[in-house]
Amino acid sequence: MDSNIDDTQHSPAGSYQQRATSSGTLPNEFVGLSITNSQHLQLHHQAFADDYLQPPLPPPPPPPPAMGDNSGVIAFDITEKFRIAAQTLEPGELVKDGHFTLFESVGALEIMDPKMDSGFLAPGESLDEDYDVTRPLLPREVIGIIDRLLSLEMAWHLGHPLSQTLLTNVYIERMLNPEPMSLEEADFIRDRGAEKDPMHQVLRAYCLGLVKTCWFVNERIKQEHYHEEEDFVTNTYTRSLLEDIDADEIRDEIMEARKVVYNLRHRITDEVSWALGFRLELRSAFLRVIELSDLRSDPDSLSLPWSQMKSVWEAIEKSRHLGTPVPEAFSTKIQRRLASTMPPRPIVELSPDETYKHFKKLIADGIAVLDVLKYEDTQSLLNFVVTFQAQKPQPMVYIRTLLQSFLFKDMVILGRLSIRHILDADLCLIALPSARLLDRTNDLVEAPHHPHYAIAHQMELFRQRAAQSYLDIFRVFCQNRCRIRRTLFHSIHDWDAVHADALDIDSLLQHQLEEPHITYEKSGPLWNKPLSSWAYFYKLRIMEWCVQFGFELEIYAPDELPKMYYYLYWLTRTRVKLIEHFRIFVNSRYADYTAGIPNCLTVNTNVTENEFIRSRAYLNQAHFEAAATSDMAESLTLIYKALMKEKLIDSSPPQPYGNDALRFQFRMRGFARCDIPGLPEWEEYLSLDGPRYTSATMLEHAKHLLIETRRWLEGMCELSPDKSFTFNCHERWKEGVENILRSLIAMDELCGRLLELIELRGAGGLEGVVKVEIGKPKDWHHEFWAVPTLVELKGVEGGGKK
């Protein structure tokens, strides 16, 4: 370059220009540079090095060839000026221009990096895909393209973005870009003649149905509670997904394509014809499923298209071998035209077996979720949601949002029930069977000083306060497992506030009803307080779920497991006492009812006896479940403490910045905000480490606890849906109880084997003889019960028994 060009000359935009000033300030070209040593400036180009450190430079290369008309461009060498300006900086000084943003600096790093620069082209590579969508297609090629689209569609359902799945297909991209304004424009061959290639017509109809289905699914998910990037990516990258084209028109196109395939059956063989027909039928059935999902009144009619999809999918799986892959019809180059700040990403594709498995699961869950509309009682509804979401693998996000829609759309529960109906039904089942507080005739009283008017007013205040928190329990369980635990933790504080407000309302209602207390031989006088007790019941359940999800999600370290099982035991023991409180008052009122004794809290109707029977049955079942959980948690606490005493689990791993008490306090931080029930005493937990509790005594006590618990669980497995309050989800609930029973049996066997080993070894201990493996939740019988296993390292005979 010519370094003698006059510095005052102006050069056009895009060329280097001198902007140095006489004061020695750094020109804007050098912003973002950090100089660490002004004497030895490290530069990557030889032209920036000191002359005495470098060999003589070779002659400069010839100037680049002229590209277009650049007659006005004047270039000059800025190397020396750059060096002089850099020497004015102190070591470590950072020069930053206010207009030089992070986006620009990172963008400069991305340029020409094939992993980051979507515009980077390899030698000989074209900017756009070279695939010709007008080329004739063989029927088997259409099957191959459709099958790969099915794989990409399922990858999208599993949470991958459209830019890495369906929008990598050339046919879909040409159909959607530019945006079609009518059905005729929605074609990958624009302005085609009157005569259409039959296979193009089939593929177009399939793509129309696929894209419209994706739009429906995307809109459904966006309307409900979900978590972007965590569950699902709703970004369409400015592609419209045919939102302005009516689904009936698309369904007509699919029917026309099926007729075309039928007419060609003799030319393309019946086998290929049926394969194409089934794939088109899948699209039509999926559209019907989505459109009918808004009709929540008749679950049987909703199940018909899902059942049709199930049979069609099995037929598609059997014809999978007929397709011929067309890999050139899919390209990542399309990502360059999408409105995205993401760098290029590879196509996400599932194997045929994975696609089959996930589609089968989607259809099965779609059929199963319809049973939620068959409402029987509130606890069956809650058990349905909890067990449905506990499936492994968990239902896909579309099914979970469909469940939310069935439950809450337009704030009409299940399409036919009011929020008051659900809330009153749950209060009736747990705390207030046939109660005057829930009597709707209270609403008819308009005299402000009448007790019934005051009751109606206070109950309405309570419903307004508790309704959202109660419904949020169902909504929370429609999220993914990690999100369930996080959200439940937040709801603990909300339920604590509901509990406090309910205590005040209970006091006012007790005064209005002039309700007497009950004298109980174990604890003296008892007051009913049904509303606050009901709120306390759910607060305890939520706290238990938070602890149990911690085991499933592997939140706790091995040395924390006994502490958390002890806390679970403490919570469930509290819930057992609360259920006993409910039973005392319900049984007392039922005894008055059967004896014909008036009770200020009971209102006699034609369903009074049935409500008492149902409430007592639920409280008995809830008592068994809570007591079994409490005993199992206590047993597992003792087992882990015994293993720690035998030094098979490190009870206190090195933690330089804390101790066990502080770590326990930190772990309990999410629960400590609640004054009731509070936290267990740390000293009470430490008492298990005392000398009066040996490993053998703890294991014997754990084994004794499991005997009664096993009978309870075996009895629960025999309960009918009516007695277990598991309508429409009994098989899933029973499977969960059976898995808990297997965990209990494993705990019992572990206790027995440990007692044998301790007796054989005596004072020799078990360290070095056996080792403990806790495993992963997927290896446990039930994800809430981390039962360890023993691995014997050597024989124990003669191991030092004294």
Residue 771 parent element (H or E): strand 770-773
Residue 254 · residue 312 · CB < 8 Å: no
User: Omega before 393 cis (within 30°)?
Assistant: yes
Q: What separation in angstroms does the CA of 162 have from each of 19, 165, 349, 397, 652?
A: 47, 5, 12, 15, 48
Distance CA 207, CA 128 (A): 21
Domain annotation covers residue 802: no
Domain annotation covers residue 331: yes
Domain annotation covers residue 450: yes
Listed residues 100, 122, 157: the one ending a domain: 100
Asked whether residue 202 falls in the same domain as residue 343, the answer is yes
Asked whether residue 705 falls in the same domain as residue 573, the answer is yes
Q: Which residues of 363-386 are buried (b: 16+ CB within 10 A; e: fewer)?
A: bebbbbbbebbebebbbbbbbbbb
Domain annotation covers residue 698: yes
Domain annotation covers residue 326: yes
- List the beta strands (DSSP E) in 26-83: 34-35
For the chain, which residues score pLDDT lower than 50? 1-54, 68, 798-802
Asked whether residue 184 falls in the same domain as residue 76, the answer is no
Domain annotation covers residue 740: yes
Distance CA 127, CA 110 (A): 18
Q: State the Cα angle at 278 between 273 and 281, rounded to 5°.
A: 125
What is the tally of structural domains in the chain?
A: 3
Structure tokens at 768: 């070095």
Asked whether residue 363 falls in the same domain as residue 458, the answer is no
DSSP of 655-690: -TT--HHHHHHHHGGGTTT-SSS----HHHHHGGGS
Asked whether residue 604 falls in the same domain as residue 475, the answer is yes
Helices and strands (DSSP H and E) totals, the chain: 23, 6
Q: What is the pLDDT of residues 357-410, one digit of tens each?
A: 999 999 999 999 999 999 999 999 999 999 999 999 999 999 999 999 999 998
Facing residues of 525 across strands?
A: 519
User: How high is the pLDDT of residue 316?
Assistant: 96
User: How high is the pLDDT of residue 247?
Assistant: 95
Report the candidate in 538, 540, 518, 535 with the shortest Cα–Cα distance to residue 585.
518
DSSP of 243-274: TTS-HHHHHHHHHHHHHHHHHTHHHH-HHHHH
User: How high is the pLDDT of residue 44?
Assistant: 42
Neighbour-count burial of 523, counting CB atoms closer than 10 A to its CB (0-12 exposed, 13-18 middle, 19+ buried): exposed
Residue 435 makes CB contacts below 8 A (sequence gap 6+) with: 427, 428, 530, 601, 602, 603
Q: What is the pLDDT of residues 232-258, one digit of tens each?
A: 999 999 999 999 999 999 999 999 999
Domain annotation covers residue 130: no
Asked whether residue 338 falls in the same domain as residue 431, the answer is no
Asked whether residue 338 falls in the same domain as residue 434, the answer is no
Asked whether residue 332 falls in the same domain as residue 464, the answer is no
Asked whether residue 173 falls in the same domain as residue 31, the answer is no
User: How high is the pLDDT of residue 460?
Assistant: 97
Listed residues 73, 100, 127: the one ending a domain: 100
Asked whether residue 239 falls in the same domain as residue 179, the answer is yes
Distance CA 411, CA 424 (A): 16
Distance CA 540, CA 576 (A): 10
Amino acid letter for position 563: K
Q: Which residue segment(s) compose the domain that 321 sits in?
A: 139-371
Domain annotation covers residue 586: yes
DSSP state at residue 336: G
Asked whether residue 83 falls in the same domain as residue 150, the answer is no
Asked whether residue 640 falls in the same domain as residue 753, the answer is yes
Rg, Å, the chain Cα set: 36
Residue 644 makes CB contacts below 8 A (sequence gap 6+) with: 559, 562, 650, 651
Report the candidate in 431, 458, 432 with the shortest Cα–Cα distance to residue 445.
458
Distance CA 40, CA 528 (A): 84
User: How high is the pLDDT of residue 531?
Assistant: 97
